[in-house]
Structure 1
Amino acid sequence: MEEAKEKKILFDLFPPVSTDDWEDKIIKDLKGADYQKKLVWKTNEGFEVQPYYRSEDLEKTQYAKSSPGQAPYLRGNRAEGNDWFIHQDIKVKDIDEANKEALEILNKGVNSLGFVFEEKCIANQEDFDRLVRGIFLDSTKISFKSGSESPDYMVMLKNNVEKRKFTTKDIQGADDFDIILPLTIGKGFYNNDVDKAFERCKKTLDFAVENLPAFKAITVHGNIFHNAGANVVQELAYTISNASEYISRLADMGANAEKIANSMQFVFSVGSNYFFEIAKLRAARVLWSRIQEAYGIEEANISAMSIQAETSLWNKTIYDPYVNMLRSTTETMSAAIAGADSINTQPFNNIFT
């Protein structure tokens, strides 16, 4: 029994090598070449990446010993396990065809659906009921991507859930409603009125908190910054800034800061810089925890950041589309290791279909 508990050291046949010994060996092998120029990678973010790292480097990391499932959630939102939802978007042009496609991919392992409405095709509750017919809403995460109309679908979802006798607290998903997004990409606020935009946002938030407590009423899009060419630091800064603006505005309107934070989903694109992208999502959770602290939320009540990760678009090619599969594979691995809550691996031919 004691032997089973004994900690095994990997490669114990090899003697330990000190950092000084490694440095001496490297300098010798460089034969006079400049260490900094030859081996240290200087990134666009301003980081200097060393040629190797050792366990002692972790001692300089502020949150390295924090526990998973506890604020600031550096090591993940859950204390045990690292499961994620497998997400796929469906473009809704025909209601029955979209429903058929949804049922097909659910049977293939997808458990998170994103209905993308490029044009309005849901006119009433009956249309919505046809769209989600046969989908077990208590075990399938469901999102609606329709800009300013997305909150309307959330109301229809609640009606469908009650009609089919599902438990409302079990319904997970997101309303892809981001009123700051149009301003970010140069289109202005909803109805060109900032006050009305946030009034609608607050009504959407209040409805979700009251009727669908596990459903995310607000989505903050960090993916647009990544796909516009932002580096990791810029993407984090702009995304967290937008999220902070939501709390600031809605709290001024009387909303509870804790409930606002708990009702938000973040969408990040994951690029091909493998380790940096893992670090990005981990850092995002820490930053979001610190933002909540700044708004007076006690540590015990800090909400874990709900992250939907998707593979990058800007680094994909139309000339050799099968290379896109390789890039998407490593990007998906980064998202999974970083602890994303759901992952959308874009089709390899997505940019030209």
Structure 2
Amino acid sequence: MDEKDRLTQLTRELDDWQSNVLASVLTRTPERKTECRTGSGIKVDRVYTPLDLADHDYLERLGFPGGYPYTRGVRPTMYRSRLWTMREYAGYGTAEETNRRFHFLLEQGQTGLSVAFDLPTQLGYDADDPIAVGEVGRVGVAIDSLADMETLLRGIPLDRVSVSMTINATAAILLAMYVVVAKRAGIGSERLAGTIQNDILKEYIARGTYIFPPGPSMRLVIDTLAYCAEHLPRWNAISVSGYHIREAGSTAIQELAFTLADGIAYMEAALAAGLDADRVASTLSFFFNAHNDLLEEVAKFRAARRLWATIMRQRFHARDPRSWMLRFHAQTSGVSLTAQQAENNLIRIALQALAAVLGGAQSLHTNSRDEALGLPTEDAVRLALRTQQIIAHESGVANTIDPLGGSYYLETLTDRIEREAAAYIEKIDAMGGMLRAIELGFVQREIQEAAYREQRATEERQRVVVGVNELTTADPVHVPVFTVDPKLEREQQAKLDQLRRSRDNCRVERILNRLDQAAQTRENLLPIFVEAVESYATIGEMCAVLRRVFGEHRESVAL
């Protein structure tokens, strides 16, 4: 029987099943009235068969792991050779406090580090700046100078442990600090493995920790790309982040489309600056959200790999197969966690982590059950890490590659998500690219509208959130909440005062003047940041110079 006859017979059998089996069952036990849709609003059919994939070419659409179009994974053996990197996002208070948490996590079996920085550090202010009052060490660790970075990384084998730093507007400066710490430990930059987020576009879209206008900000990103391509071959110079886009309220499809559109913008800016496509592509990684709709999330990750491979090969004409690979870190969804019945978050986190693993993540952070209430306690973060370890060692899902691949539903959903994400990218291209789409407020409006629809669905109980709008209890919350000791802010300010008294301030002034002059040219600023860091210039002092030269960005309201 040829393929056409086989599909014809299957169509007849499906019709027969619907008429003679399904119809009578629906009469006795009707399906629930609420229409089944994914989190992105894609209608989910009752059942999927080979008819849904009648035109599906396996080699063209899936291929094999480690080969174009990478739908099934970026490595030929995936987790059978090496598990994903387990890195819990951590940082609070002073560098000493966070260093203790890092060592605790490594002792618990964590295989990589991920640094959370406080808001003053992210926005380029020192701990003693009046604008930083009350925020020092609150949502991350306070890093003012090289002295803090030296303390933060004390005892960490930087040639064996990869470090991810969630930092954007000041990413180039924090990278310079990291390079100098490693250099003083006798570790050359060519041996360093890790990531700086350095994705400024998503700050304008969804997060808000920008400093400078888009033009100078993109200049800093490209300076960093060029520096890493030359000096840090194992370092990811950008982690293009859809995570925060999703946390702001986007759908899975929007998260994918806007993230890849950001990646396209970075590639175009790098090529315009004269950088080679293959050298740049090897320094790019991605960061996605792992949300509640398990199968849609798996399909999203698979579609992301295939779409990016096509973009790199066809749009940018990259020649190296490594340039076609979309490598990504995933984090479970913070916005999905609830303060009500906080123990329910354990189940949400486990399902989200499973989606990331089934989708082929290279690195994973699992949130802690108490994060709707505060920073995670040690017990909570240990359990979050254990969630990954149980999935890795007890669930069996890491034993074969892309274990859900070939599912009629999953493949149909992967195709649909890819098509709809590609349509968004085409619309953004027609506007003149991602920077222009952000300036027009298009991306922000799309996310705002999606967030509004989601909130309405929750309030009207069209979407069930267990413990929040259904299955609620009046029991009080009994979850230990971690708090940052206020005295840590004063300690950080005292250390900063001592630093300024003990360093060579004349040397600092000379280098800051040099930074001022270079910022007014097209000179790559990374080598100057390295020199400034070595003199113990502070992040606030360097950013003050750049603010005078570049100006500051003021957001316009997207209506």
Q: What TM-score range do you get, normalising by the shorter chain?
A: 0.7 to 0.9
1:77 and 2:97 equivalent?
no
**Which string of whole-angstrom CA distances, capped at 9 and with x for unpartnered residues, describes residues 292-332 of structure 1?**
12111136353321211111122221111011110110000
Aligned residue in 2 for 1:51: 46
Of 141-150 and 108-117, deviating more is 141-150
Structure 1 unaligned runs (5+)?
Answer: 1-17
State the aligned residue count.
335
Structure 1 vs Structure 2 CA RMSD:
2.7
Partner of residue 87, structure 1: 87
How far did 1:50 drift? 2.3
Contact 2:38/2:296, CA 8 A, preserved across alignment = no
**Which AA in structure 2 matches 1:207?**
Y
Could you give the per-residue CA deviations for residues 35-79 of structure 1, whole angstroms, max 9, x where no partner exists? 9x9797344645332223345645544545401011221111110
Take 2:346 and 2:56, find their aligned partners in 1: how far apart are those partners?
34
> Structure 1 residues 318 and 162 mapped into 2: Cα distance closer, same or farther (>3 Å)?
same
1:1-353 mapped onto 2 (5 Å cutoff): 19=14, 22-23=17-18, 24-31=20-27, 41-43=36-38, 45=40, 47-54=42-49, 57-58=52-53, 60-62=55-57, 63-82=60-79, 83-118=83-118, 119-120=120-121, 121-166=142-187, 168-185=189-206, 187=208, 190-192=211-213, 194-293=214-313, 294-298=315-319, 300-353=321-374
Contact 2:89 2:113 in 1 (8 A): yes
* Cα gap change, 1:58 to 1:299, in 2 (>3 Å): farther
Q: TM-score, normalised by structure 2?
A: 0.55
Output the amino acid matched with 1:322: E
What secondary structure sits across from 1:351 in the alignment? coil
Instruction: State the one-letter code of the partner of 1:94.
Output: T
> Quick one: which amino acid aligns to residue 79 of structure 1?
P
* Secondary structure of 1:41 counterpart: coil
Return closer, same or farther for 1:97/1:312 CA change in 2, 3 Å cut-off: same
* SS of alignment partner, residue 78 of structure 2: coil
Q: Which has the higher contact order (CA 8 A, sep 6+)?
A: 2
Shift of 1:180: 0.9
Contact 1:92 / 1:115 at 8 angstroms: preserved in 2? Answer: no
Is the 1:158–1:212 Cα contact (8 Å) retained in structure 2?
no
Distance 1:164 1:56 in 2: 60
| C-alpha distance in 1 between matches for 2:61 and 2:199 | 33
Distance 1:250 1:81 in 2: 30
Which sections of structure 2, spanning at least 5 residues, go unmatched? Answer: 1-12, 122-141, 375-559
CA distance in 1, matches of 2:323, 2:208: 33
In 2, Cα distance between the equivalents of 1:213 and 1:314?
A: 34
Residue type at the aligned position of 1:47: I
Please identify runs of 4+ aligned residues in structure 1 that moved more than 6 A: 32-35, 37-40
Q: Give 1:147 deviation, angstroms.
A: 2.9
Distance 1:299 1:51, change over 3 A: farther
What's the CA shift for 1:143? 1.5
How many Å separate the matches in 2 of 1:211 and 1:99? 26
Q: How far is the alpha carbon of 1:190 from its aligned partner?
A: 4.0
1:274 and 1:330 in contact (8 A); partners too: yes
Change in CA separation of 1:25 and 1:169 when aligned onto 2, cut-off 3 Å:
farther
Amino acid at match of 1:27: A
For 1:166 and 1:299, the matched residues in 2 are separated by: 28
| Equivalent position SS for 2:324 | coil
Greater per-residue helix proportion: 2
SS of aligned partner of 1:259: helix
Contact 1:93 1:117 in 2 (8 A): no
Look up the equivalent residue of 1:236 and give its one-letter code: L
Distance 1:47 1:195 in 2: 37
Give the Cα–Cα distance (whole angstroms) in 2 for the partners of residues 262 and 93 of structure 1: 34
In 2: Cα distance, 1:148 partner to 1:92 partner? 19
Q: Normalized per residue, which structure has more strand?
A: 1
For the residues of structure 2 that align with 1:44 and 1:328, how far apart are their CA atoms?
A: 17
Work out whether residues 89 and 116 of structure 1, in 8 Å CA contact, stay in contact via their aligned partners in 2.
yes
* SS in structure 1 of the partner of residue 87 of structure 2: strand
- What SS does structure 2 have at the residue aligned with 1:285? helix
Report how far residue 167 of structure 1 moved.
5.5
User: How far apart in 2 are the matches of 1:70 and 1:236?
Assistant: 21
- Measured after TM superposition, the shift of residue 268 of structure 1 is 1.1
SS at match of 1:267: strand
- What is the CA distance between 1:249 and its match in structure 2? 1.8
Give the CA deviation at 1:150: 2.2
Q: CA deviation at 1:231?
A: 1.4
Give the Cα–Cα distance (whole angstroms) in 2 for the partners of residues 149 and 219 of structure 1.
14
